[in-house]
Amino acid sequence: MNNLKLSGRKPDEARSVIEVGGVRIGEDFLVIAGPCSVETEEQTLRTAEAVRDAGAKMLRGGAFKPRTSPYAFQGLGLKGLKILDKAKKETGLPIVTEVVDTRDVSWVGEYADILQIGARNMQNFSLLREAGKSGKPILLKRGMYSTLEEWLNCAEYILAEGNDKVILCERGIRTFETYTRNTLDLSMVPAVHAESHLPILVDPSHGTGILFMIEPMSLAAVAAGADGLEIEVHVDPKTAMSDKEQQLTPEAFRTLMRRVADLREFMAERAMAEADAAARGDPAAREGVLGSRRDPFADAMD
Amino acid sequence: MNNLKLSGRKPDEARSVIEVGGVRIGEDFLVIAGPCSVETEEQTLRTAEAVRDAGAKMLRGGAFKPRTSPYAFQGLGLKGLKILDKAKKETGLPIVTEVVDTRDVSWVGEYADILQIGARNMQNFSLLREAGKSGKPILLKRGMYSTLEEWLNCAEYILAEGNDKVILCERGIRTFETYTRNTLDLSMVPAVHAESHLPILVDPSHGTGILFMIEPMSLAAVAAGADGLEIEVHVDPKTAMSDKEQQLTPEAFRTLMRRVADLREFMAERAMAEADAAARGDPAAREGVLGSRRDPFADAMD
Amino acid sequence: MNNLKLSGRKPDEARSVIEVGGVRIGEDFLVIAGPCSVETEEQTLRTAEAVRDAGAKMLRGGAFKPRTSPYAFQGLGLKGLKILDKAKKETGLPIVTEVVDTRDVSWVGEYADILQIGARNMQNFSLLREAGKSGKPILLKRGMYSTLEEWLNCAEYILAEGNDKVILCERGIRTFETYTRNTLDLSMVPAVHAESHLPILVDPSHGTGILFMIEPMSLAAVAAGADGLEIEVHVDPKTAMSDKEQQLTPEAFRTLMRRVADLREFMAERAMAEADAAARGDPAAREGVLGSRRDPFADAMD
Amino acid sequence: MNNLKLSGRKPDEARSVIEVGGVRIGEDFLVIAGPCSVETEEQTLRTAEAVRDAGAKMLRGGAFKPRTSPYAFQGLGLKGLKILDKAKKETGLPIVTEVVDTRDVSWVGEYADILQIGARNMQNFSLLREAGKSGKPILLKRGMYSTLEEWLNCAEYILAEGNDKVILCERGIRTFETYTRNTLDLSMVPAVHAESHLPILVDPSHGTGILFMIEPMSLAAVAAGADGLEIEVHVDPKTAMSDKEQQLTPEAFRTLMRRVADLREFMAERAMAEADAAARGDPAAREGVLGSRRDPFADAMD
């Protein structure tokens, strides 16, 4: 982990907090939710309302879709961005959307509150530099083949342009296992917290690609100390134009959010109780601490 | 997932419960802890007492160590088993220890309460069959290169010999990432629960190989619904003859256990509260349930 | 392998031949050689002369270098292209150089005879489309994490823009093996020949990252039926600003080229002898043919 | 590559030559061929005759088959060994067959000229030690997840028991690519030659799992300097009880063998011509030599 001048964590350095639309990312727990692709105005608005009502703090939705085949649905482009803009006005949710071309960074940035750089473009260094120059908050997904060191170096490309608003997102890596779409590597949560001051979200939708795994992996991410989640939700997943298999219904998302919130609350209470015990000099509170900066219970304090 | 006649899960089938030394594995949460290798009587006894006092229900310890190099410490063999036996008598903890040779299954089985088959021997089919014939409870670790389907087929080899006491253990797979020793694949917890009736433990010690990751990954495993944990603990890790880098001190293990227990308790309470709400006909309790058999909150009820 | 409308091979379809600077790629065996990075005029000119004298048909050299760290040497940019242009004028060798940004495709295309798209940008779909629109011959390297199906779909992106001049290049994939820099997957040579009509080169420099492996892997690629090689050569590898460990000296490259040429000649002679025998009705020539389109001996006929 | 006391190559040390049934392995090029499984006497005898007539020097055939599922055909056991013995008497071909259990090493060794240890048992250290004690020549396949360093350490286990007759065999590793059954890593040929004095064969049948790839990958292995090949051949592949998709017909094998022999002859002639030129003081013969011990042309001299 050499040469991470800006993304690396110095001893006793505090974690970064990145404020977007009133959410203090890295401190407040952030859930970004929404459809894989923006398909129609109605689909987007109804999904946006549903995820807001369930407690999501931002809306995701793809207007430019990187697809394996050139003949697959490529997204609505500008039309999709305008739909997202309308959804933002109606729900108040800030928008997270992907940018895939250096030429698009500035104008897509006018619609997006956070620009997402996807797994396939993680080492598109021109795009990283342009994202850095834009000054916009950037959600940088881990490449499906990238090591922690490479990933943090990609954050470094953005930071080196003077933009310190970088949020990382683990979304699964490619392995030999074919049961799941990718192998969600939750060990990156404590690893990023140890090596960097940047916040890290987890995307269990792409990370597993399997509906029934999204909730257990979301709860696991929370318990591991993640700073948030990005989850695909669609008002009517059966009709989705992409990622049909992994988008939650609004109902399933609501249940998931209730459980995530409960787990977060429990962890925050426990962390405060432990801090109190330590302040009172309770010897049990002191022993065996693994290092507070890497401690998921302490991390849970909002 | 064809042909899993005995290990596969039939619709609405209950999960298996395997009783060993008073622990109902699959129902009670099980923590197995102890040193990587049995080195001396004192090291083993002191570690055994420490893990028992912290709440572990079984003692692990290797007497036969599969090592990459023939010149590395290979374990104490019979002498190690005798030390484990003494530790069992003094602490009351059942013993989990690895067997690596078909010829050893029957006599090692006289010392072990659970026979462990390690990752490197997962597809040693002769050993699986012998383990099946022994009738002893078997802890079957996932091979570092094995798919879920191959792993369950290995369980099938044991079950096909008439031995239904198989416990699975995820311990990390081999990927391109070199920051961690292995990539711990927690998605196997819901995957095994969906495809099989067998219980599944998680080993975060081998799964990460990094001390500060063991606690967050343990908590994540609990939140994902794992049936237990296997963790390496050593009274004096600095002096350990193997896996020096990943064995917890007794103090760190005690803190970890307190947090694991708290998280388990919280999940069990929440599951009961949800069950009550559903019984009362609360509509919120019904919506969006992802399927009770795959539901980590419900799984948490002890 | 669905939906490869343009890159897929139809039964009995001939392989594509792409003519660049007098070389009929897919029919003539093509060796592209030159430095990893263009560093100075002298380094480039002297390397260009050396590789031309040894029999290379095109010059490679990077002016835009995708590097893991933003603080590593990033290439000379336009200055580098001008040096390549001078080398082309002095040696007559067509130029192969990488493009990394959609905005650069058209002006870099004025210097390059073949535009290279590197492994990290293989799924930069915007760049692929722009490369397609340019009409220039494109050398498309396999992503280090990409399946054959994904790779051919990336070729499809270029072809779908009306540009049929796509040349593939296997350069090693990322696996768990750390002895080599990448794992060179020579099975892609017959695989591409079976599934596509496009030519395929092999890059043993990146594919192994180890000097002494470049010759045996080059000869293996020839024997497997590859349509050419891309090899890094530097007049003084010790002083190279990138990929120091894997650039051949001119002397080593000359020896390699002599052996490659001899092997090619042998294979072409054998293929003609087999064709003659078949024409004469020799039964031995007919039996056991594995399918002529996939037959490396037949492929060797220039 | 530490601690390879016996398997590692010392500077200027000659390569090992292991004599089995008149073949000097490491010096003579060795082709082992035969069915995946011994199924019937007629199938085995007819295949044995066919491979002998085509030029194979040894017969392979599995009597104990490690299979993913316990319900798949497991081999004929002792009956299979007796059929192999009969085939040996009728054809004169030495027998190569797999052993999977420590208890079987001594009696299977009475039928086998070379005992094969398969990929799944590569790190079955008890079996390696027993194979070492047997004194029989051992064909050690690379595990599908094993690094070069781990593989050579497994050879070290055998050598450390006083048995110096170890032959390595690359058979493909597990990667994310699903087009091929495994990814054949031919770079292991020069790697093993650089790091060890042991001979290395290549198995393109398991290494690709695809019929039309076996010939090009065989020729590539020869060009890379392999010491031999292990190839699956079946008199009637359509009816095979295992590995139906990757067994060559006798006709295809005959064609393959003719081409392999021609390529070997060409390489040997070239190596002699180069040696002569060097002896005459031809400067061209001296320049750019990559190191004779790693030189596939020199390796080709029988």
Torsion of CA C231, C237, C242, C248, to 10 degrees: 20
The nearest alpha carbon in chain B to D71 belongs to B3
Of D68, D100, D174, the CB nearest to B126: D100
What percentage of chain B reaches a pLDDT higher than 90?
87
ipTM at complex level: 0.94
* Disruptive mutation site among D65, D126, D149 for chain B (greatest number of B CBs within 10 Å): D126
Q: In chain D, pLDDT over 90 holds for what percent of residues?
A: 87
Confidence of residue A11 (pLDDT cuts 50, 70, 90): confident
- Chains near A with 3+ CB pairs less than 8 A apart are B, C, D
Residues present in chain A in total: 302
Structure confidence by residue, pLDDT tens digits, B193-244: 999 999 999 999 999 999 999 999 999 999 999 999 999 999 999 999 988 8
Confidence check: pLDDT of C61 > 90: yes
The answer to whether the CB atoms of C187 and D217 lie below 8 A apart is yes
- Total Cβ atoms within 10 A of residue A287: 13
C68 → closest Cβ in A101, A121, A153: A153
Give chain D's contact residues with A (Cβ, < 8 Å): 174-176, 178
How many Cβ atoms are within 10 Å of A216's Cβ, its own excluded?
29
pLDDT at A283 over 90: no
C215-271 tens-digit pLDDT: 999 999 999 999 999 999 999 999 999 888 899 999 999 999 999 999 999 999 999
Give the pLDDT of residue D278: 85
Beta strands D18-20 and D23-25 are: antiparallel
* Nearest chain D residue (CA) to A175: D176
Fold exhibited by the domain C18-248: TIM Barrel (3.20.20)
Strand boundaries in D110-212, DSSP class E = 114-117, 138-141, 166-170, 200-202
pLDDT tens-digit series, residues B148-160 = 999 999 999 999 9
pLDDT surpasses 80 at B298: no
Q: pLDDT: is C142 or D290 the higher one?
A: C142
Best residue of A6, A67, A101, A176 to probe chain C, by most C CBs closer than 10 Å: A101
Q: How confident is the model at residue B1 (pLDDT cuts 50, 70, 90)?
A: confident
For residue B290, what pLDDT is reported? 38
Tens of pLDDT, residue by residue over C143-195, are 999 999 999 999 999 999 999 999 999 999 999 999 999 999 999 999 999 99
Average pLDDT rounded to a whole number, residues A115-144:
98
- All residues of chain A having their beta carbon less than 8 Å from the beta carbon of residue D174 are 176
Amino acid A37: pLDDT: 97
Residue C285 has a pLDDT of: 55
In this predicted structure, what is the pLDDT of residue A297?
Answer: 53
Chain C residues with CB within 8 Å of chain A CB: 3, 5, 66-71, 100-103, 120-121, 123-127, 129, 143-145, 149-150, 153, 156-157, 160, 174
More confident residue, B24 or A283: B24
User: Taking each helix axis from N to C terminus, what angle separates B211-224 and B250-280, rounded to the nearest 10 degrees?
Assistant: 20
Average confidence score pLDDT of chain C: 93
Q: Which residue of B has its CA nearest to A204?
A: B187
Residue B283 pLDDT level (bands cut at 50, 70, 90): low
Confidence of residue D294 (pLDDT cuts 50, 70, 90): very low
- Using one digit for the tens of pLDDT, what is the confidence trace for D191-239? 999 999 999 999 999 999 999 999 999 999 999 999 999 999 999 999 9
**CA distance linking residue B122 with residue A164, whole number of Å:** 47
pLDDT in the model for residue D172: 98
Q: What is the pLDDT of residue D298?
A: 46
Residues of A with CB under 8 A from a CB of D: 174-176, 178
Closest-CA residue of D relative to A174 is D176
Min mean pLDDT across A241-250, B209-218, C38-47 is at: A241-250
Residues 6+ apart with CB under 8 A from C228: C25, C29, C30, C31, C32, C199, C201, C202
Output DSSP code: residue B196. B
Name the residue among D119, D189, D125 with its Cα closest to residue D156: D125
**Which is higher by pLDDT, D166 or A279?**
D166
Categorize the per-residue pLDDT at D125 as very low, low, confident or very high, splitting at 50, 70 and 90. very high
What pLDDT was estimated at residue A113?
98
Share of chain D above pLDDT 70, in %: 93
The percentage of chain C sitting over the pLDDT mark of 90, rounded to a whole number, equals 87
Residue-wise over B116-127: b if at least 16 C-beta within 10 A, else e?
A: bbbbbbbbbbbb
Size of interface C-D (CB pairs under 8 A): 167
Q: Mind spelling out the 3-state secondary structure of chain C?
A: CCCCCCCECCCCCCCCCEEECCEEECCECEEEEECCECCCHHHHHHHHHHHHHHCCCEEECECCCCCCCCCCCCCCCHHHHHHHHHHHHHHCCCEEEECCCHHHHHHHCCCCCEEEECHHHCCCHHHHHHHHHHCCCEEEECCCCCCHHHHHHHHHHHHCCCCCCEEEEECCECCCCCCCCCECCCCHHHHHHHHECCCEEECHHHHHCCHHHHHHHHHHHHHHCCCEEEEEECCCHHHCCCCHHHCECHHHHHHHHHHHHHHHHHHHHHHHHHHHHHHCCCHHHHCCCCCHHHCHHHHCCC
Q: How confident is the model at residue A292 (pLDDT cuts 50, 70, 90)?
A: very low
Residue A287's pLDDT is what?
44
Lowest mean pLDDT among A168-177, A243-252, B43-52: A243-252
CB–CB of B270 and A251 under 8 A? no
Nearest CA distance, C263 vs chain D (angstrom): 8
For the residues B126-144, what does the mean pLDDT come to? 98
Contacts of A185 in chain B (CB under 8 A): 175, 177, 183-184
User: CA-nearest residue of chain D to A144?
Assistant: D176
Contact C70 A125 (CB under 8 A): yes
Quick check: C125 and A66 CB within 8 A? yes
Q: Which is it for strands D30-34 and A200-202: parallel, antiparallel or unpaired?
A: unpaired
Report the chain C residue with the minimal C-alpha distance to residue A4.
C69
- Does pLDDT of A264 surpass 50? yes
Position A290 scores a pLDDT of 38
Q: Which residues of C touch D217 (CB under 8 A)?
A: 186-187, 190, 224
Q: Do B178 and C178 touch (CB under 8 A)?
A: yes
Q: What is the pLDDT of residue C281?
A: 81
What is the pLDDT, as a whole number, of residue D76?
A: 97
pLDDT of residue C284: 59
pLDDT(B302) > 80? no
Q: Do A145 and C68 touch (CB under 8 A)?
A: no
Residue B278: per-residue pLDDT: 85
How many angstroms away from the CA of C61 is the closest CA of chain D? 22
> What is the nearest CA distance from C53 to chain D, expressed in angstroms?
14
Which chains are adjacent to chain D, needing at least 3 Cβ pairs under 8 Å?
A: A, B, C
Tokens of B38: 């049995």
Give me chain D's average pLDDT, please. Answer: 93
Question: B-chain residues within 8 Å CB-CB of A184?
Answer: 185-187
Residue ranges of chain C whose CB lies within 8 Å of a chain B CB: 174-176, 178
pLDDT of residue D225: 97
Output the pLDDT for position B299: 44
For residue D288, the model assigns a pLDDT of 39
pLDDT(A26) > 90? yes
A162-166, C200-204, C272-276 — which is least confidently predicted? Answer: C272-276
How close B147 gets to chain A, by Cα (Å)? 5
Instruction: Kindly list the domain boundaries of chain B, sorted by start residue.
Output: 18-248, 249-302
The two beta strands, B166-170 and C18-20, are unpaired
Disruptive mutation site among C176, C182, C183 for chain B (greatest number of B CBs within 10 Å):
C176
